[in-house]
Amino acid sequence: MKNLIAGVFVVVTAACSSHIGTPRAPDSAADISHSAIMQQIKDKSYIGLTTAEKSALVKSHSRAFQTLNEKVRDPFITKGPDDYYYLTGTTAGSHWGETIGIRLWRSRDFAEWEDLGFVWDLYKDGKQNKTWHFEQKIRNPQFKNPRAIWAPEIHYMNGTWWIPHCMNINGHGLLRSVSGKPEGPYEALPPIKRDLIDAHIYQEDGRTYYMWQADYFAEMNADMTALIEEPIRLQHDGNHEMAYEGILLMKVGDKYLFIGSGRYGYEPTNTYDLFYGVSKNIRGPYGKRRMMIKNAGHGNLIQGPNGKWWATAFDHDYTTNIDKKNVWSPWLVPIEIIEKEDDVLIHVKDERFRPTQEDHDFIKKLSITGKPKEWYDVPPWTQPDQLEEARERRKNKRNNH
C-alpha cells in the first residue's frame, strides 16, 4: 500500500537539485516524443483525446492533458491494492448535475478509464438509510440541487474502502464499504462535523488522522468512526493563511506536506492554485507557504505508471475556453518531487501550470504582510473590480440577519 498518496506512508527519493519553477530541458527521446504528440493532437488542444494519444502523453510525462472527458470538479486519484487507480470527484453541485452521490472510475494506465457508475446515491442509498445528510438545513431551496455532495476522496485503509465527503450546505464525514470492494455497497457513518467542508484522511503507523476545510486536524479512533481529541488548526511560518479549502496531507521521506487550495483576488493572476508547507512533525509547525502548482486547486498528487508523479487539476482556461460541455474535467499535470535534507520541492514540467517568479515573489511578500486589508470582509476570490459590490452584498446580508 505504499503507493497510496493520501492516507498511507509514502517515500519519494530524487537525485535532482532543481528548484521550484526551474525549467528543465528534456532528453532527446522525450523531446522527439513530445514533438510528435504535439503534432498529432494540435487541433484537439488536449481535449477528447484517444486512448493512444493519452498513453503517449503518460509515457512522455512532459505535458498536462485531460485524462477523463467527464464533468468533474475536485478530482482525486488513489491507487488500490489491486493495482487499479481509482478516480472520483464532485459530479454535481448546487446548480449543475443530475445524480447526487459518489461516482467512481478506475484505470491501470491513466489513458483508459472504466466507469463504475454511482457507488453511492444520496437520494437512493442515503434516503433509504436516513443518513445525516438529510438533517442538514437547506439554505437555498430554489437551487437545482439544494443538497449536493462535494469533494469526495477515496482511500483504502483497514481492509476496506473509505470515502471522505462533504455537502454544499456544510457538514462532512465518511462512507465505508461494507464489502471491502471499491464499488461498495457503502454505509454512511455519523457525521464528523456538521459545519465547514472538504474532508480528508491520512494514515500512518496504525494511526488515522482526519482533516477538513483548510487546516483543521485531529486523530481518529481505531475504527474510524469518531475523533479522539479536540481538533487543532495546523500552523505554518508566515502571516497569510495556507489556503481556505481543500486540505491534503502526504509524506515524502521524513517530511510532511501540508497542502491546501485557494483562488485569491489580490494575487497576480486569477487562478485556482495549490499551496504547501513542509514539516518533519505531522502536527507542525510547517514552514513557509509556497505555491506548489498553478491552476491545480483542489487536486491531489499521485504516483502513476512507471513511477512518475502527477497532480490532478480541473479549473483552468485550458479546458474552460474550449470544452463548453465539460467546463471542469480531470486533467493530469506532470511533476517531479525533489526531496532535500530539510525541504521538499515540486518541479512542474508543464509551464502552463508552473508558478512564475512573480508568483513566488508575491507569495513571499504575503507571508510578511498578510492578506490586504481591502479583502478582510469579502470572499478571498473577489477580484479588485468586484470589491465594492462584494462589500455591499456582505453589508446587506448582515442587515438582513
Q: Which residue shows C-alpha cell 446548480?
A: 95
Residue whose C-alpha is closest to residue 153's, from 35, 299, 25:
299
Task: Decide if 155 contacts 181 (C-beta within 8 A).
Answer: no
Work out the pLDDT band at 202, boundaries 50, 70, 90.
very high
Residue pLDDT, tens place only, 341-390: 999 999 999 999 999 999 999 999 999 999 999 999 999 999 999 999 99
The residues, ordered by sequence, that sit 6+ positions from 389 with a Cβ below 8 Å of its Cβ are none
227 vs 37, more confident: 227
Q: Which residue shows C-alpha cell 455519523?
A: 190
Task: Decide if 100 contacts 123 (C-beta within 8 A).
Answer: yes
E strand map for 263-351 = 273-279, 286-288, 290-293, 301-303, 309-313, 331-339, 344-348
Percentage with pLDDT > 70 across the chain: 87
* DSSP three-state, residue 360: helix
What mean pLDDT comes out for the span 53-75? 94
Work out the pLDDT band at 318, boundaries 50, 70, 90.
confident
Kindly state the DSSP code that residue 68 receives in the 8-state scheme.
Answer: -
Query: What CATH superfamily is the domain 28-370?
Result: Glycosyl hydrolase domain; family 43 (2.115.10.20)
Work out the pLDDT band at 398, boundaries 50, 70, 90.
confident
CA atoms within 13 A on the CB side of 256: 21
Out of 142-146, 254-258, 316-320, 344-348, pick the least confident. 316-320
What mean pLDDT comes out for the span 67-94? 97
* DSSP three-state, residue 193: strand
58/361 Cα distance (integer angstroms): 32
Looking at residue 5, its pLDDT comes to 35
Work out the pLDDT band at 327, boundaries 50, 70, 90.
confident
376-382 long-range contacts, CB within 8 A, separation 24+ = 380/244, 380/262, 380/263, 380/264, 380/265, 381/262, 381/263, 381/264, 381/265, 382/265
- Whether the pTM exceeds 0.85: the reply is yes
**What string of DSSP letters covers 126-146?**
IHHTT-GGGTSPPS-TTSS-S
Q: Is the pLDDT score of 153 beyond 80?
A: yes
Q: Which residue shows C-alpha cell 457508475?
A: 117
Looking at residue 388, its pLDDT comes to 94
Q: Is the pLDDT score of 330 beyond 60?
A: yes
The residues, ordered by sequence, that sit 6+ positions from 222 with a Cβ below 8 Å of its Cβ are 208
Verify cis geometry, omega within 30 degrees of 0, for the bond prior to 185: yes
Work out the pLDDT band at 37, boundaries 50, 70, 90.
low
Looking at residue 44, its pLDDT comes to 61
Measure Cα distances from 369 to 3, 12, 364, 374 in Å.
Answer: 39, 34, 9, 13
Residue pLDDT, tens place only, 155-164: 999 999 999 9
What mean pLDDT comes out for the span 313-330? 80
Out of 12-21, 135-144, 249-258, 389-398, pick the least confident. 12-21
